[in-house]
Amino acid sequence: MIFKIIIVAMLFIVVGSLASAMFHLVKGEGQASEKVLKSLTWRIGLSVLIFILLLVGQSMGLIAPHSLT
C-alpha cells in the first residue's frame, strides 16, 4: 500500500513541476527559459523514475495487473 502512495505522490509532484514550467513560460521574465528547462528536466526525470519503480514493483509483486472482467 505504501508503494502505491509513493507512486501517486510522485505523480502529483510531476504535475506540480509541469504547472511550474507553465507558470514560468507564461510569466516570461528574465531567465524564464532557464526555469522552464529546469522544471521540465525534473518532470522527465521523475517520470522515468516512476516508470522504473512501476517495473520494479511489478517484478517484486508489490503491484499486480487486474483482469478486464
Residues 6+ apart with CB under 8 A from 6: 53
CA distances from 19 to 6, 22, 42 (A): 20, 5, 12
pTM confidence score: 0.79
Residues 6+ apart with CB under 8 A from 19: none
Q: Which residue has the higher pLDDT, 53 or 33?
A: 53
Q: Above pLDDT 90, what percent of the chain? A: 51
Q: 6 pLDDT exceeds 90? A: yes
Q: What angle is formed at CA 45 by the lines to CA 64 and CA 63, rounded to 5 degrees?
A: 5
